[in-house]
Structure 1
Amino acid sequence: MFTTNATALRRNLFGILEQTIKYNEPVSVSTKEGNAVILSEDDYNSIMETLYLTSIPGMREKIIDGLATPPEECITEDQVSW
């Protein structure tokens, strides 16, 4: 995580934002009042999706089970009737 203070952030805002977006590296900004974190939109959306999915009862376990299932044990397209 890249760390900066509010003064340096103001001086280099555009460059810091570009780097955050390009490399998906969060930026920690320290101020007198506390700290803040700047994330790329992709990272933010990923966090929100993870929070949503893990809020569904039983979903976490289904995801873990799915990750442990070998691809050859998954349903193929010819087994699905749309």
Structure 2
Amino acid sequence: MLNINITNFRKNIFKILKQTIKYNEPVNISTKEENVVLLSEEKYNSMTESLYLSSMPATKEKIIEGLNTSLDDCISESKVAW
């Protein structure tokens, strides 16, 4: 995560925005009062989708089950009916 103060952010706003979009790297912008985090739209959408999926107990359990499944116990992709 890039950390930058508000003054330097203002000086380099277009460069920082392009980098944030290109690399999906969040930017922490510090001000005298509080901080702000800048995200690319792709990163934001990914985070909201993850939160949505994890909010459904059955879906969350399936994801955890999949993460804990050995690759040896999985079927090959060629056998999956799409």
Could you state the TM-score of these two structures normalised by the residue count of structure 2? 0.82
> Deviations for 1:4-59, whole angstroms, at most 9, x for unmatched residues?
01111111000000001111111000001100100111110010000000111222
Identity %: 53
C-alpha distance in structure 1 between counterparts of 2:54 and 2:25, whole Å: 23
CA-based RMSD: 2.0
CA shift in 2, pair 1:69/1:59, >3 Å: farther
Structure 1 outlier segments of 4+, above 3 Å: none
**Match for residue 75 of structure 2?**
72
**Match for residue 8 of structure 2?**
8
C-alpha distance in structure 2 between counterparts of 1:6 and 1:72, whole Å: 51
Q: Number of aligned residue pairs: give it.
A: 78
**Match for residue 53 of structure 1?**
53
Q: What is the identity, as a one-letter code, of the residue corresponding to 1:9?
A: F
